[in-house]
Amino acid sequence: MKNTYFNKLMIFMFLCLGCLTGCDNKQPKIGEDGFELKISCTMRNQELALAACIGASKTVKVTTSNGSKVYTGYELMQRHGKINVPEHFSFAAYNESDHLILQLEVFDYATGKIIYTDQAGSYDAVYASN
């Protein structure tokens, strides 16, 4: 009888300790900390220079609640095709190539997981918004 009482007491203490260290178990909302967009140019799953799909002088546009920002292909190449955006945004980029694939990947900034992908073939566009 003493042993079962002790076991129950230990379980109760374990549960209480768990609640003290993080009982709310609140899961972060996807995108709550923003997103990272990664734009790349590929052929047969091999990443190529981004300029092959978005010319150095061409632009892409990111719109947020604070306004719009335009990036040139050259700026995107300097940033390795990565742009950080807040929770609410819209993005569009046009593929200038007639034989390469323009790819967009959207990563949840907090977890690093890919939550959306889009690809565009010849003279098509990739889009994302939240």
Q: Is residue 117 part of a domain?
A: yes
pLDDT digits (tens, 9 = 90+) for 93-121: 999 999 999 999 999 988 999 999 999 99
How many domains is the chain built from? 1
Q: Which two tokens stand for residue 126?
A: 């990739």
Per-residue pLDDT, averaged over 50-78, amounts to 91
Q: Is residue 41 part of a domain?
A: yes
Q: Is residue 108 part of a domain?
A: yes
User: What does residue 4 show for φ and ψ, rounded to 5 degrees?
Assistant: -70, -35
Concatenate the DSSP letters of all residues of 43-106 into one string. Answer: ETTEEE-GGGTS-TT-EEEEEETTEEEEEEHHHHHHTTTEEEE-SSEEEEEE---SSSEEEEEE
Q: Is residue 27 part of a domain?
A: no
Q: Is residue 95 part of a domain?
A: yes
Residue tagged 């109760």 (tokens): 12
Q: Is residue 5 part of a domain?
A: no
Q: Which domain holds residue 55?
A: 35-129
